[in-house]
Structure 1
Amino acid sequence: MSKLDENYYRKLLELQQLDFALVELNLYLDTHPNDLGALQQYNQLAQQRQQCAHEFEMQYGPLMNFGHSFSRYPWQWVETPWPWQV
Structure 2
Amino acid sequence: YPMVDIKVIVFDGSYHDVDSNEMAFKIAGSMGFKEGARKADPALLEPYMSVEVDVPEEYMGDVIGDLNSRRGRMDGMEARNGSQHIKAHDPLREMF
Report the TM-score when normalising by structure 2: 0.24
- Larger relative strand fraction: 2
Structure with higher Rg: it is: 2
- The structure in which a higher percent of residues are helix is 1
